[in-house]
Amino acid sequence: MNYRDVIKKLETAALYPDKTVADSIGKTGKAAVGCFPIYTPEEIIYAAGMLPVGMWGGPTELKRADKYLQSFCCSIMRSNIEYGMKGTYNMLKGVVLPTFCDTLKCICENWKVAVPHIPIIPIVYPQNRNTNAGFTYLTEEFRRVKVEVEALAGHEISDDKLEEAWNLYEDYRETMRCFSEAAADYPQIIGAKTRHLILKAGWFLDKKEYLEDIRTILEGLKQEEKQPFSGKRVVATGLIAEPGSLLDIFEENQIAIAGDDLAQESRQFRTKGREVGDFWERMAGRIADQKGDTFLYEAEKTRGQMLIDLVRERNADAVVVFMMKFCDPEEFDYPIYKKELEAAGIPHLYLEIDQQLDSFEQIRTRVQSFAEMLI
């Protein structure tokens, strides 16, 4: 398949996730397990012979979710409860939930009542993940999740399957890091929305198939000549860059995404796994080594410097903050890295977003003004 056809395939997969997941289940014969954001241990699910599926909410009318989550909870989680209650997630055999923030902690018990027919497996990450006690706790927590996933799958997970899954996901993470770099060199082909949809599609496809698709795109890009780009290049940061209509506005104004620090995108693959230790130690090590993430406690607060470094590395002109409304951890981080960006002389645009957003005129005006300011 031509690499441009693969791009179209992945764009369609991301735009119609329910159909994509149903097709993936039919193609692989695997049961699907939902993965709440973020850092769900997908390797364990994959090793059990099941299909990890991302649960990133979406634009839907919230009729039932308000019984369980207040209006000041983030729209991703409210949408997830809504989808669970109205049957959108009935294709899932179970869900795994990391309890990173107050809203995620509330969901665990609420899900058991609101969506009782879909089992939920919580996982609690330690605050001090780099201490000996925190690291040991994390390995034991992963082992506990394995036991619960085994119960869901109806069979034990062998050590060989765990190693196979780890190696596959390390290949995936390395390949995605290559894609992120390559996409920045071809903004005319991989525009802001296309880049987002390609990355999002990975949440709904079997990782082996997705990995082949990304490699096809990378090979195709290598054959293309790099063209001068007359627009502006930015680094995106936040949880997600949605709804998709937001990125249409960026493309209208010739703004390309040169790199990102988004929870739905690069945060999932930017950290290379350790090469020493057993499976559990490597799993814990990858979480311990994550830097600059608002959901993983870090006294040093390295996010600002990471953004500055990424802007310079990708030759970007600015940073765009996609601030999910009512996401307390992200909102707490913003004043810190805002000061650092300003001190480094890097302009930034702050956009408050919500998955139920249906009017984009104000954002369109702000993006247009920002693009003109960067000229």
pLDDT at site 65: 87
Radius of gyration of the chain measured on its C-alpha atoms? 20
27, 209, 248, 250 from 347: Cα distances, Å:
46, 39, 21, 16
Domain boundary among 92, 127, 157: 157
Helices (H), the chain: 3-15, 17-28, 42-47, 75-86, 102-114, 132-153, 159-185, 192-201, 207-222, 245-252, 279-288, 303-313, 328-343, 361-374
Same domain, yes or no: 368 and 235: yes
C-alpha closest to that of 79 among 107, 105, 53: 107
pLDDT at site 299: 85
Q: Domain containing 49 — which CATH number?
A: 3.40.50.11890
Measured distance CA(50)–CA(174) in Å, rounded: 22
Give how many domains the chain has, as a whole number.
2
| Contact between 315 and 232 (Cβ < 8 Å) | no
Answer whether 0.75 is exceeded by the pTM: yes
In a domain, 141, yes or no: yes
Same domain, yes or no: 244 and 371: yes
Domain that holds residue 303: 230-375
Q: What amino acid is encoded at 346 in this protein?
A: I
Domain boundary among 157, 177, 199: 157
pLDDT at site 297: 87
pLDDT at site 42: 97
In a domain, 307, yes or no: yes
pLDDT at site 247: 95
Q: DSSP assignment of 23-91, as one string?
A: HHHHHH-PPEEEE-SS---HHHHHHTT-EEEE----S---SSGGGTS-TTS-HHHHHHHHHHHHTTTTT
Is the peptide bond prior to 25 cis by the omega test (within 30 degrees of 0)?
A: no
In a domain, 41, yes or no: yes
pLDDT at site 1: 83
Same domain, yes or no: 152 and 240: no
Measured distance CA(127)–CA(183) in Å, rounded: 34
Domain boundary among 157, 179, 206: 157
End-to-end CA distance of the chain: 39
In sign, the C-alpha dihedral spanning 120, 136, 101, 198 is: negative
pLDDT tens per residue, range 332-345 = 999 999 999 999 99
37, 95, 279, 301 from 164: Cα distances, Å:
23, 22, 10, 34
pLDDT at site 357: 75
| Contact between 254 and 371 (Cβ < 8 Å) | yes
In a domain, 349, yes or no: yes
Same domain, yes or no: 259 and 372: yes
Q: Domain containing 272 — which CATH number?
A: 3.40.50.11900
Same domain, yes or no: 149 and 279: no
**pLDDT by 10-residue block (mean), the chain, 375 residues:** 95 96 96 95 98 93 86 89 95 94 84 95 91 94 98 97 98 98 96 97 97 98 92 96 91 96 96 95 95 89 96 97 92 96 98 85 94 89
Length of the chain as a residue count:
375
| Contact between 268 and 38 (Cβ < 8 Å) | yes
Same domain, yes or no: 267 and 375: yes
Same domain, yes or no: 260 and 349: yes
pLDDT at site 165: 98
Measured distance CA(175)–CA(182) in Å, rounded: 10
